[in-house]
Structure 1
Amino acid sequence: MLWLKALHLIFMVTWFAGLFYLPRIYVYLTEATDEAVRATLRTMAQRLYRITLVGMVLTWVFGIALLVWNPGYLSMGWLHAKLLLVVALSGYLGWLKVHLRRFTAGTNTGTSRFWRIANEVPAVVLLLVVPLAVLRATAAVTVAAQSCDCR
């Protein structure tokens, strides 16, 4: 089970790295005036999107594997909140893909300020998801220690 957790975390980091950087590339795309630079940035964004998508899919795969290993988590409120945020973040990546297509087609309407604000979304979600998982683990250890007759 620890390998499943490790793989889940590795691909979550991959996913978030892409989510942090893809909107930043959109800022640069919005501000770029040289077509050669724009072409390079579009290529970077397309490649980064693919890597980010793989990170997201494998995060889901290993997360589901963890739930199969521990189905009791499905009854816990912290997991429902975490899953809601993960679904929202998955939708955010889909939204970024829509905008990547717009950049490729030359129909982007977002300003660099818009993309700077959009760039903060994954950070906010990360600040919510990590405490849910970590505090859940801390609470579980505390409950186990309290119920242990360790004399």
Structure 2
Amino acid sequence: MDIPSNAFLWMKAFHIIAVVCWFAALFYLPRLYVYHAMSDDEISHQRFEIMERKLYRGIMWPSMIITLITAHFLVDWGDAIYHYHDAIWFYLKVALVGLLIIYHFFCGYYRKKLIGNAHYKSHKFWRYFNEMPTLILVAVVILVVVKPIF
């Protein structure tokens, strides 16, 4: 398929924007869980539940979907030039994105568990849980930029 380079660049721009939005939400939602677990009054619990719901449904889901759709087009259009399917780094990146999607679903699962039960897990658990997307981000950026040969 012969795609104009301009379309590929626009798709890449939208992909990067969606990835940034998704990661911002992935970083912030577990941080809200930390504060939620540390709160003691009902008004705070309700406020955190609303914030968590809006972030998860209004930002995390749409940005994940847009990330995955634009990634599909980038791989489909760019494979003829960049030969993604011949590179091990590409499959490692896909696996890490798969882990990120699982993490995303865990965030949703935990969001529901926190409703009416702010002390479901300790704030220390949420602090460690919050580090997972950072580790994945570092690994993905290294794979995409350096493209190591194994």
TM-score interval (norm. to shorter): 0.7 to 0.9
What is the match of residue 57 of structure 1?
A: 65
Q: Which has the larger radius of gyration?
A: 1
Shift of 1:131: 1.1
Counterpart Cα distance in 2 of 1:57 and 1:108 = 31
Deviation at 1:70, TM superposition (A): 2.0
Moved over 4 A (4+): none
Which amino acid in the other structure matches residue 105 of structure 2?
G
Determine whether 1:37 maps to 2:44.
yes
Give the gaps of 5 or more residues in structure 2. 1-7
Deviation at 1:105, TM superposition (A): 4.2
Equivalent pairs: percent with the same residue?
A: 35
CA contact (8 A) 2:45 2:118 kept: no
Q: CA deviation at 1:135?
A: 1.3
**Structure 1 equivalent of residue 110 of structure 2:** 99
Structure 1: unaligned runs, 5 residues or longer: 140-151
Q: CA deviation at 1:53?
A: 1.2
- 2:17 corresponds to which letter in structure 1? I
Paired residue for 1:25?
32
Q: Give the alignment's Cα RMSD to 1 decimal.
A: 1.6
Task: Identify which of 82, 88, 91 aligns with 1:80.
Answer: 91
Residue 55 of structure 1: CA displacement? Answer: 0.8
| Rounded Cα–Cα distance in structure 2 between residues aligned with 1:30 and 1:106 | 9
Partner of 1:133: 144
User: Of the candidates 12, 16, 19, which is equivalent to residue 9 of structure 1?
Assistant: 16
Task: Find the residue that maps to 2:40 and give its secondary structure.
Answer: coil
In structure 2, C-alpha distance between the alignment counterparts of 1:78 and 1:2, rounded to whole Å: 22
Equivalent AA in structure 2 for residue 88 of structure 1: L
For 1:84-135, what per-residue CA distance to the aligned partner results, in whole angstroms no more than 9, with x for missing partners?
0000000001001001011114275311000000011111101100111111
Q: What TM-score do you get using the length of structure 2 for normalisation?
A: 0.87
Aligned partners of 1:108 and 1:32: how far apart in 2? 9
Instruction: With the length of structure 1 as denominator, give the TM-score of the two structures.
Output: 0.86
Given residue 53 of structure 1, which amino acid in structure 2 is its aligned partner?
W
